[in-house]
Amino acid sequence: MERKLIDKILAEAPAEEPARQYFFADECRKIITEKENLKGRKLTCCINTFGCQMNAKDSEKLLGILKTIGYEESDSEQSDFVLYNTCTVRENANERVYGRLGVLKTYKKRNPDMITAVCGCMMQEKHVVETIKKSYRHVNLIFGTHNIYKLAELLFMYLAEDRNQTELLEGTDKIVENLPSERKFNYKSGVNIMFGCNNFCSYCIVPYVRGRERSRSPEEIISEVRRLSADGVTEIMLLGQNVNSYKADISFPQLLKQVSEVEGIRRVRFMTSHPKDLSDELIEVIRDNPSICRHVHLPLQSGSSRILKIMNRRYDKETYISLAEKIRREIPGVSITTDIIVGFPGETEEDFQETLDVVRKVRFDSAFTFIYSKRTGTKAAEMPDQVPKDIVDERFRRLLDLVTEISKEQTALYEGCTMEVMAEEVNSRDPSLISGRLSNNSIVHFKGSSDLIGSVINVHLDEAKGFYYYGTIAHDVSVS
């Protein structure tokens, strides 16, 4: 495109968001339509998402923008537009992205018109961007976590100038609302209630790549939930790095209650709750509102009070155990799940034993276990006494064996019961089965048809199989 024309379009662009992005999406659509006419087919896009629920939610917004521009969604990375939304919480997440980028290069040789883009948490790290610019020159767009809403503008600049674009912001206090979004599931949706994190756990890169905490207003959240409900969504997952530090004119528990009262919403979940500030009010609100799921994800990280202190978690072993006991006492049927890190710098066998002790005492219904990964820029990366790999691997095995054994026993507790299951999807291995979830987050497979998806059904849990159940629809009880 000629410079004059680009400047004219830029001068016409509205300054305020999201109007500006809708304007650029229109401009992109004109260019994409021309390309479609030349190729005689629609252009396709593929987003590959790494990392957590926040990234999954961001990807829905990114897909919404790409579809507004005129791309058709595809699962294949041999598409006309391929975007990686990256995660950097552990080193192996980064390695996977570099591996995929190598593969993309060969696809791009076959389709030189292909546009490749990377965004998300990894891009907030300077050394990553340098590596990509140096060694992966086939990447056309680079942006971060604070400006995903600008995809249309960046793509327009790339198409218009025919030049790679990079835009990275160090931080933001902005929350851009009302962008288009394409949900992955019809019946359930994540809803951001806050962005960023202020906790600076000493091992964790998230506060550096996601910036400081920003909470959305309750009005924005509730109106998004109402819109989703009107669109057929029955399950909401409220998302934040630490939902307990949600700051607005109402507290997180009050927000949770209001969301659960929105018409049409059958289930509400939330992720993640930091143990340091999980309030009695939250426990009461879960207890008293049956549509709030009987599930608390409460990351432990370590059972050693000494290590927890160095991790900057701001709770100790005893307070964690008594909090878990209180949750189990107050909310019958609740499941408690967790995240645990093995091999934090300086972790001794005694520290590790404390972790095993908490696992035995709390009896987690399930646990994500991670090997400590050194993240450049965090406090822990500077700490001496990084634990040797063979010791960490051996501890990891022992921990995994214990959590697996306990979660099997926990799952077996409900064998033979009839419980409410949200029907989620047709089982990918056996299409005669529907896979769904209990309120406590356990998975149940049962014979049924796809028209059940999105509804809550009573299912008899015939057989507990480790982490999941085989069940049968209970015909003697009402179906909704």
Please give the residue ranges that form the binding site for ligand SAH (CB under 6 A).
Answer: 89-90, 203-204, 206, 241-242, 272, 274, 299, 301, 339, 341, 370, 372-373, 375
Token readout for 181 is 């979004």
Token readout for 291 is 């549509």
143 or 372: CB nearest ligand SAH = 372
Q: Which residue is nearest to ligand SAH (CB)?
A: 339
Contact 303, 271 (CB under 8 A): no
**Options 32, 69, 82, 89; binder of ligand F3S; rule CB under 6 A:** 89
> C-beta of 372: minimal distance to ligand F3S in Å?
15
Q: What angle do CA 244, 354, 464 make, to 5 degrees?
A: 75
87 or 334: CB nearest ligand SF4 = 87
52 or 391: CB nearest ligand SF4 = 52
- Residues 297 to 316: which contact ligand F3S by CB under 6 A? none
Pairing of strands 433-438, 468-473: unpaired
> C-beta of 28: minimal distance to ligand SF4 in Å?
34
CA distance 377 to 396: 25
**5, 68, 62: which is closest to 32 by C-alpha?**
68
Contact 325, 366 (CB under 8 A): no
200 makes contact, choosing from ligand SAH, ligand SF4, ligand F3S, none, with CB < 5 to 8 Å by partner type, with ligand SF4
128 or 155: CB nearest ligand F3S = 128
Contact 258, 227 (CB under 8 A): no
192 binds ligand F3S (CB under 6 A): no
372 makes contact, choosing from ligand SF4, ligand F3S, ligand SAH, none, with CB < 5 to 8 Å by partner type, with ligand SAH
310 binds ligand SF4 (CB under 6 A): no
Angle, helices 280-288 vs 317-330, to 10°: value is 20
44 makes contact, choosing from ligand SF4, ligand F3S, ligand SAH, none, with CB < 5 to 8 Å by partner type, with none
**419, 423, 420, 417: which is closest to 435 by C-alpha?**
423
240 binds ligand F3S (CB under 6 A): no
200 or 432: CB nearest ligand SAH = 200
CA distance 313 to 341: 13
- Residues 69 to 88: which contact ligand F3S by CB under 6 A? 87-88
> Please, what's the largest Cα pairwise distance for the chain?
72
The DSSP code sequence of 405-416 is HHHHHHHHTTTT
Count other Cβ atoms within 10 Å, centred on residue 262.
Answer: 19
Contact residues toward ligand SF4 (CB under 6 A) are: 197, 199-201, 204, 206-207, 241-242, 274
Contact residues toward ligand F3S (CB under 6 A) are: 51-52, 54-55, 87-89, 121, 206, 209-210
